[in-house]
Amino acid sequence: HKRIDGIEAAQAKRYGHDRYSAIVNESAAWLVAKALGPPYRDMVPDVVVRSIWPKSPGAVGGYGALTIEAPGEAKQAAPQQNPAECDPAAFFDALIGQQDRHEANYRWQPGQLGLLDNAYSFAAPGYLQWASDFVQARHTAGRGALDPNELTLLRRLRAPSNWWTWLGMMLRADQYKAFENRIDRMLQTGQLLQPLEF
């Protein structure tokens, strides 16, 4: 459970967020993974935003993102070196504008990659303190071109649907517009975004 009072306001601000938006981003990223379907849906643990203090549901300290624990170990290089795991993770991170995907923010065991801590995703223009190790690894390996399935997923995401409405209610207007723009730029270029393009 990532409680809102455990998020440093100054750090969140450096990523273009506040403590509330950081919590909401956790659930918004899960919503995107759910819309994409497998394997992305399997990489991002289920998240709900709620209080777990039933005697004080309005208390700031009790409000947060409750996430299913992902199995595996942190600080594992193997998924970055395996295109079958690296490339979907890079696509997802570029799509959501993940600013903070480093080796402590995913879990891995053979055959299973869990993408954790999406609080500093949904980058808005003008912000980028960090990016995604997976995006960097995919570009470094020369696999920046999107494959036909990824392009199909982007077209499907861009089509009007109820999930767009839900996402729009969750994200700030600038985050929502930046998300749309990331989809459009990848569709226009056929390329995975570079970290500085988030």
Q: What per-residue confidence (pLDDT) applies to 128? A: 64
Beta bridge partners, 64, equal 3, 50
Q: What is the pTM of this model?
A: 0.92
Lowest mean per-residue pLDDT among 92-96, 166-170, 188-192: 166-170
Q: Supply 191's token pair.
A: 């390329």
Q: What angle do CA 83, 155, 102 make, to 5 degrees?
A: 35
pLDDT in tens, 20-77: 999 999 999 999 999 999 999 999 999 988 877 666 555 555 788 888 888 999 999 9
Characterize the bridge pairing of strands 47-51 and 112-115. unpaired
What is the C-alpha to C-alpha distance for residues 81 and 165, in angstroms, rounded to an integer?
A: 36
pLDDT of residue 49: 86
Q: Would you state the pLDDT for residue 50? A: 80
Residue 130 has phi, psi (to 5 degrees) of -155, 180
- Does 84 have pLDDT greater than 90? yes
Which of 62-71, 80-89, 123-132 has the weakest average pLDDT?
123-132
H helices of 65-146, in order, are 78-81, 83-96, 133-140
